[in-house]
Amino acid sequence: MKVLVVGSGGREHALCWTLAASPLCHKLFCAPGNAGIAEDAECVAIAAEDIDGLLAFVEEEAIDYVVVGPEAPLVLGLVDRLSAVGVKAFGPSAAAAALEGSKGFTKDLCAKYDIPTAAYARFTEAEAAKAYVRTQGTPIVVKADGLAAGKGVTVAMTEDEALAAIDAALSEGAFGDAGGEVVIEAFLEGEEASFFALVDGDFALPLVTAQDHKRAFDGDQGPNTGGMGAYSPAPVMTEALIEETMARIIRPTVAAMKAEGCPYKGVLYAGLMITADGPQLIEYNVRFGDPECQVVLMRLMSDLLPALIASTDGVLSTFDLRWYEEPALTVVIAAEGYPGSYEKGSVIQGLEEAEGNSDDIKIFHAGTRRGEDGSLLASGGRVLGVTAMAPGIAQAQARAYGAVDKIDWPQGFCRRDIGWRAVAREEE
């Protein structure tokens, strides 16, 4: 098969690295890709949101299957457009991608179908939203309704923070159209976990669990980011909690989407808060998480491509996936200044030494490109995902940071405590 992966981040590098190993894939492309992806696939200079450009390339190259990595092209209807010309693709339709494209849509769906999530209200007028905050009190969570590149959520510990977040979205246009409406919801206490399932419209196949670290700095301090690291499995997700999540959240959502006339196909990523009352849905994403995808796929023993195709074809119930028992851990190295402003173009060295000849260490590229002289250059905020697998989570952590310390990139930084919760549990 000729396969096209859409996207350019660490998630897409993990997907390309995994799919390139499939005996079903005889030619792999990635649009637009990055310097690391170029080692596993032929990169083509088409932006992930250039739907017309992607359609033209698919037709020109006679692509058999498309795997869509990021959320934006899904919300824009890339899968619908591909389906209309007879090309199979992994990912939901635009209507089903509303699970991520509109937080209000998801909250309303949860309310209608009794899926556990935080109490909420939706607002398009700033004064009404502020009045609600004053009535509810803090802490409280303010979210831009639409896609805001991971920057539209404020966990407000004070009233002033909440009011400022409302003004930023509704009055100042900080998130463009995505912030034309806000969802304000109750603050949930507990431990977060990432839960993934492949879905074929009717059936949901759970994948291994993961947990990521959103805050920029050690000790979960600093601003929220797209993710500074992740590990799998998440010890908080016991077998009982996994089944409860499937029974109360995932399966009801799959049934609800079918009942609403927009059956869901693709990977369903539930951001969970494990509370005293059980798992609660924080939000849905309609694609693999980043950097969770890296640790999940590092542990996958099975061929991923047939499972993705089974999701598209509606025959996922016949599939089972095999996993390595060993934990995996990813440390993200980001450009100094991220998630704020940062410089691009600095040289990165030492990756070959860091990766060595070990099958248990893999460096996934996110924001990288090649310079004219062939040097590796930083071109984004999150730049590398140093991933390691080992018999225990503490060993995986040590192995990942051992590789990090061999990378020569003075303009980069990383957290030094990725996996701390799991390590603490392992030591108990």
Report pLDDT for 300: 98
**pLDDT over 90 (residue 255):** yes
Give the DSSP H or E segment for 211: strand 211-212
**pLDDT over 80 (residue 231):** yes
DSSP class of residue 189 equals: P
Which pTM does this prediction carry?
A: 0.95
β 65-68/2-7 pair status: parallel
Report pLDDT for 363: 98
> Is the sign of the CA dihedral 282, 288, 290, 293 positive or negative?
positive
Mean pLDDT throughout 19-40? 98
Q: Angle at CA 391, nearest 5°, toward 321 and 279?
A: 60
Q: All domains of the chain, ordered by start, with CATH?
A: 2-93 (3.40.50.20), 125-180 (3.30.1490.20), 191-318 (3.30.470.20), 328-427 (3.90.600.10)
The Cα 382–Cα 145 span in angstroms is: 24
Q: Which of 240, 242, 268 is nearest to 255 (CA)?
A: 268
Burial label for 347, CB within 10 Å (0-12, 13-18, 19+), is: middle
**pLDDT over 90 (residue 316):** yes
**pLDDT over 80 (residue 149):** no
Instruction: Write down the mean pLDDT value for the chain.
Output: 96
Among the listed ranges 35-39, 53-57, 275-279, which one has the minimum average pLDDT value? Answer: 275-279
**pLDDT over 80 (residue 348):** yes
The Cα 264–Cα 286 span in angstroms is: 9
**pLDDT over 80 (residue 138):** yes
Give the DSSP H or E segment for 74: helix 71-75
pLDDT above 90 covers what percent of the chain? Answer: 92
Q: Which two tokens stand for residue 248?
A: 């109360």
Neighbours of 131 (CB within 10 A): 12
Report pLDDT for 63: 98
Write down the residue that tokens 């994403």 correspond to. Answer: 285
Task: State which amino acid sits at residue 105.
Answer: F
Mean pLDDT throughout 175-198? 93
Identify the band that residue 10 occupies on the pLDDT scale cut at 50, 70 and 90. Answer: very high
pLDDT above 70 covers what percent of the chain? Answer: 100
